[in-house]
Amino acid sequence: MFEYWTSKLCRPAIAVAILPFGLLLAASAANAEGFGFGTTPTAAEIAAIDIDVMPDGRGLPPGSGTVAQGKALYEQNCVACHGENLEGVAATGGAALIGGRGSIGTPKTKKTVESYWPYASTLYDYVKRAMPFTAPGSLKDDEIYALSAYILNRANIIGENDVMNADTLAKVQMPNKDGFISDARPDVHNYR
């Protein structure tokens, strides 16, 4: 009886988990007005975050940015949530961006760009889609490269004079690049 009850309860969760993301997004957008909050995204809003960046840099757009440019942009767009020293701000929920190197798997794990992310292209992709929190998709490609350069520099991953662009960002060696287990599914190789 317990097995039957559990499987019945799990079916809706399993169905939602395996729905294609697009179908789930379409259903959400169609129901947004029905719930009295939210709006259906416009084509321009979707285009602002429509990016498909691979670990080797495929999909990164043209443009470039420096550490100095990134510092100014960080102070304007990021410091309120992520702190002056990229340490995070608990009151806003803004995560630390640097620090914690070597802490993964220890009792004091600290997941940051520096300690956890295996590819620098992930930083670009995330900032493009989700930041700044109050206006995701509002930053230009050059600004995202500059912010990436600043964060990577503050994490002691790249030099102060390094310029980030599609070529150089893809070549950055992240401190935790070997901290993940390879995905052995055969279809994964179709995308890399």
- More confident site: 77 or 25: 77
> Model confidence at 39, in pLDDT bands (50, 70, 90)?
confident
Q: How far is CA 138 from CA 17, 106, 148, 151, 189, in A?
A: 30, 37, 15, 18, 32
Residue 34 lies in a domain: yes
Shared domain check, 116 and 86: yes
Q: Distance between CA 123 and CA 104 in Å, rounded?
A: 18
Could you tell me if 129 and 108 are in contact, meaning their C-beta atoms sit under 8 angstroms apart?
no
pLDDT of residue 38: 82
Inside any domain, residue 184: no
Tens digits of residue pLDDT in 89-129: 999 999 999 999 999 889 999 999 999 999 999 999 999 99
Question: What are the beta bridge partners of residue 181?
Answer: none
Average pLDDT over residues 79-83: 96
* CATH number of the domain within which 136 lies: 1.10.760.10
Give pLDDT, residue 98: 97
Q: What is the mean pLDDT of the chain?
A: 83
Distance between CA atoms of 91 and 51, rounded to whole angstroms? Answer: 30
100 assigned to some structural domain = yes
Full residue range of the structural domain in which residue 19 is found: 1-40
Write out pLDDT tens, residues 152-168.
999 999 999 999 999 99
User: By the 8 A CB rule, do 53 and 120 touch?
Assistant: no
On whether both 86 and 168 belong to a single domain, the answer is: yes
- In a shared domain, residues 36 and 56: no
